[in-house]
Amino acid sequence: MARKELRIAITGANGFIGKNLTSELKNQGYINLAVITRDTNEEEMKSILKDVEFVFHLAGINRPISESEFEKGNKDFTRKILDTLDELNNTVPLVVSSSTQATNDNAYGLSKKAAEQAVEKYSKDNDVECGIYRLPNVFGKWSKPNYNSAIATFCHNIALDLPIQVNDPNVELTLVYIDDVVKEFIKCLDGMDTLYREVPVVHKKKLGEIVELIYSFKASRENRSVPKLDDPFEKKLYSTYLSFLPEDQFNYELKMNVDQRGSFTEFIKTVDRGQVSINISKPGITKGNHWHHTKNEKFLVVSGHGVIRFRKPDEEKIIEYFVSGEKLEVVDIPVGYTHNIENLGETDMVTVMWVNEPFDPENPDTYFLEV
């Protein structure tokens, strides 16, 4: 386990990957972090690298004004970091974020390949552990639209009702999630046994499928659905989408079904995990008086107090459970029992209700019968 006092330098610390890495290192208790950004001058950089014990080199150029900037920002700056460490006689382990495009014969790919070769030479000449990660498309929070990735652009535009362009929905993207990248990078602090390394969790998804999912996330506010959180990619993509919500649109309204008894409001609906609703009962009001064949529920009173009553349709015996927001406990509503809930207090009683299936008007499975 790496020492929390380890002196770590991070280039490109204000960028997408650098910002996430720096934040997580702080979360894990690393206290000696030095960041190198575009505003760091040469003397400041030398001062940082003089006593550093590990370097994450994440700075680079991927969308320049002219192609000549690729060589300056990727190859030349990498060599500058390595030459400075040599000059200071402080050859330390280093992790560099490269790109899968390093195998391509274009200006960006060639600049990344040259940076990799410089790191290879540095590692060999100084017999020091280094790690080179040829990252595919990285997505996640704090990424920039029209810069870091197509996913950032799609999430941003769809969240803001802006148009998007999909030339070929069947194009397959190779993707890694920022948290998986950061986790893998931090593991390198404990040593690296190979020079070229990979993020173990990789997702391959078609562009059209990604766009369809993002649009479904936007629609979920109206249909009250949630994504399939047991799907690792969908879970990560949903988190990414939420990070692009406009700051004045974090909230959204729910449709409250209100009458003289109180209100009933659907909160979350899922296909395979049921539905959650919020029930508010006015003082003295009784709701329910029905039973189900297969539909089952869980009631949790979170404010006020009352009683939940049960009776089998062919029996006279009534079972009572007294409930209160002062003592949170869940009451299961088994099938085959007619049941109701009565507010015994002088204020509104609030109940969180879960049911194992969304309401289907074609098959409500609800039969009214007084308890």
**pLDDT by residue (tens digit) across 232-244?**
999 999 999 999 9
pLDDT digits (tens, 9 = 90+) for 213-230: 999 999 999 999 999 899
pLDDT at residue 69 above 70? no
pLDDT digits (tens, 9 = 90+) for 139-197: 999 999 988 789 999 999 999 999 999 999 999 999 999 999 999 999 999 999 999 99
**CA distance from start to end of the chain:** 62
- Whether residue 108 lies in the annotated active site: yes
CATH architecture of 256-368: Sandwich (2.60)
Residue 128 to residue 150: CA distance in whole angstroms: 36
Which whole number is the average pLDDT over 117-137? Answer: 96
227 contact partners, CB below 8 Å, separation of at least 6:
213, 216, 217, 220, 234, 235, 237, 238
pLDDT at residue 203 above 90? yes
Model pLDDT, residue 63:
64
> Alpha helices of 225-274 — where are they, by DSSP H?
232-242
How many other CB atoms are found less than 10 A from the CB of residue 165?
8
Model pLDDT, residue 106:
84
pLDDT at residue 45 above 60? yes
CATH architecture of 7-242: 3-Layer(aba) Sandwich (3.40)
Name the active-site residue from 30, 108, 238, 241.
108
What sign has the CA pseudo-torsion 173, 59, 180, 117?
Answer: positive
Greater pLDDT, 102 or 69: 102
What residue has token string 């308890």? 371
344: its two tokens: 């015994």
Q: Domain extents for the chain?
A: 7-242, 256-368
Model pLDDT, residue 102:
85
Predicted TM-score of the model (pTM): 0.91
Residue 37 to residue 14: CA distance in whole angstroms: 6
Residue 240 to residue 261: CA distance in whole angstroms: 40
168 contact partners, CB below 8 Å, separation of at least 6:
207
Residue 97 to residue 115: CA distance in whole angstroms: 10
Model pLDDT, residue 81:
93
- The full DSSP string for 266-327 is EEEE-SSS-EEEEEEE-TT-EEEEEE-SS--EEEEEEESEEEEEEE-TT----EEEEEETTB
pLDDT digits (tens, 9 = 90+) for 311-332: 999 999 999 999 999 999 999 9
Model pLDDT, residue 66:
60
